[in-house]
Homo-oligomer: A and B are copies of this chain.
Amino acid sequence: MALLTGAEVAKHNKADDCWVIVHGKAYDVTEFLPEHPGGTKIILKYAGKDATEAFDPIHPPDTLDKYLPKSKHKGPVDMSTVAVEKHEESPEEKERQLRIQHMPPLDQCYNLLDFEAVAQRVMKRTAWGYYSSAADDEITLRENHAAFHRIWFRPRILIDVEKIDMSTTMLGTPCSIPFYVTATALGKLGHPEGEVVLTRASHKHNVIQMIPTLASCSFDDIVDAAAPGQVQWLQLYVNKDREVTRRIVQHAERRGCKALFITVDAPQLGRREKDMRFKFTDQGSKVQEGQATDTSQGAARAISSFIDPSLSWADIPWFRSITKMPIVLKGVQRVEDVVRAVEAGVQGVVLSNHGGRQLDSSRSAVEVLAETMPVLRELGLESKIEVYVDGGVRRATDILKALCLGARGVGIGRPFLYAMSAYGQPGVERAMQLLKDEMEMGMRLLGARSIAELTPALVDARSLANHAAPPVDGLSQAVYEPLASPAQRPTATEKAKL
């Protein structure tokens, strides 16, 4: 077949006749335009042109093959005939490139927060916006980390802590340390290779990776990147079309996934205003779109329209019927639902508020944990279910606090994304190593030689549910105009000016 030329494709540059080039092939997306979850406008920007660069971070590579009918595949393009858009680098981008040149050497990062500091400097604003943003006033986002500071240690002394064993098992899988890489979307926003970077680093450190439904890489690419024997879990957004869900789950099980984490805190994906704000571009005129409040809501909304808000407890038996993988509910937020999860026969729960990205004012997972475990113990259900937490974990001391309070393990998401975005795989590996170093020291100083010795008596969590001083709500503070003392009277000069 003769290659298409750029000129030929360029003719189809209108809403009612729209082709785009992706990875050297042309596609007719005219009919698909109104259905595009990310909106029409973003595609039209590339009508008749090469859209690869914008396409890649948001879509797994097999997207077009999967979702666009073969008849719309217009065939390969002679890329030498396609006009290369010359990106005039914006001043902002030039500054970012300069910041990248001068970023600190990796070994100057001493903790997980350091990676976040560096990532903030070197990531593109939109990528940073997508990763770092959270719901509404981002109060839960900050509470997630802040909650750990209301838990204090009660270390034991004079314990022989020469040998520290921080290994554990999670859902039957032995792992080197009780954290896993939790699922986060759109890895290619931060690094051109995307989630496989996390896969490789996880293998190096023998930690478990949870594969996200909304990965930039395709599911199979991520599984392929795993080493033999490396354990991965599947995070699942449940599709309105249950057959699609069944195929995804059973494919994952066949490919060797060892657990199914069903996200239950996202019947609708949250609005993250920081993310939306970063998309702002002056459109030249004052557009008063009135009711159209749901446009340009950032990457998250664009990619999630398939998620089923009707998912309910009634669906759990069906999930148990289609897979033998252990099932874990991700996003549980109250003790009543943990008890119900036991009754529903699932193997685990992740106490989580989705990194503060869903319902603002949700409590931190670690606070829900402190509410949950005494009840489970009282009901004799402690051993019936594994309880995980995620959100706000930045230090091994955070992990230790969660484990003392009864968690089986903790999930860590954003910090690894930041490490990856700033330094690639070596960054992620160093982040993991730092956690291991901190963990070893923390257990030693706490007088705990093994995970089993991390008990509630080692912490004082009495202030955990005390919310007398919640995180500051920035927007509200920004618009409050402080009271003023009486002004001096103007001088003669100042008066003359008036």
Taking Cβ atoms with an 8 Å cutoff, the residues of A that contact B are: 90-91, 99, 102-111, 113-114, 116-118, 120-121, 132, 136-139, 142, 145-146, 148-162, 264-268, 270-271, 273-274, 276-277, 280, 282-283, 286-296, 308-316, 329, 331-334, 336-337, 358-363, 394-395, 397, 401, 423, 426, 429-430, 433-434, 437-438, 440-442, 444-446, 457, 460, 462-463, 465-471, 473-476, 478-491, 495, 497-498
B149 to A470, Cβ gap below 8 A?
Answer: yes
- A491's nearest neighbour on chain B, judged by CB, is B102
Listed residue (A108, A109, A313, A429) with the most chain B CB atoms within 10 angstroms of its CB: A108
A479 to B485, Cβ gap below 8 A?
Answer: yes
Quickly give the copy total for this chain. Answer: 4
B476 to A145, Cβ gap below 8 A?
Answer: yes
B434 to A293, Cβ gap below 8 A?
Answer: yes
The CA of A379 and the CA of B266, in the complex, are separated in Å by 39
B401 to A156, Cβ gap below 8 A?
Answer: no
By a CB distance below 8 angstroms, the chain B residues around A474 are 482-483
Q: Report which of B154, B334, B437, B469 forms a contact with A293, defined as CB distance below 8 A.
A: B437
B361 to A397, Cβ gap below 8 A?
Answer: yes
Q: Report which of B274, B363, B466, B490 forms a contact with A153, defined as CB distance below 8 A.
A: B363
The CA of A329 and the CA of B118, in the complex, are separated in Å by 42
A107 to B: closest C-beta gap in Å = 5
B363 to A445, Cβ gap below 8 A?
Answer: no
The 8 lowest CB-CB distance pairs between A and B, nearest first, are A117-B485, A463-B467, A359-B445, A104-B486, A468-B468, A108-B486, A469-B469, A113-B475
Given known pairs A149-B139, A158-B329, A488-B121, the reply for A433 and B468 (CB within 8 Å) is no
By a CB distance below 8 angstroms, the chain B residues around A314 are 160
A102 to B489, Cβ gap below 8 A?
Answer: yes
Given known pairs A104-B487, A138-B483, A473-B149, the reply for A337 and B157 (CB within 8 Å) is yes
17 sample A-B contacts, Cβ–Cβ < 8 Å, listed by A number: A104-B487, A104-B488, A106-B290, A107-B288, A107-B296, A110-B271, A114-B486, A138-B483, A149-B470, A150-B468, A150-B470, A265-B445, A277-B486, A280-B487, A288-B426, A293-B437, A469-B469
A105 to B283, Cβ gap below 8 A?
Answer: yes
Q: Report which of B118, B153, B162 forms a contact with A359, defined as CB distance below 8 A.
A: B153
A99-B488, A361-B401, A466-B466 known, 19 other contacts, Cβ within 8 Å = A106-B286, A106-B287, A107-B293, A107-B296, A121-B488, A138-B483, A150-B467, A150-B468, A154-B334, A157-B329, A158-B315, A158-B329, A161-B309, A161-B310, A270-B445, A358-B445, A359-B397, A460-B465, A469-B469
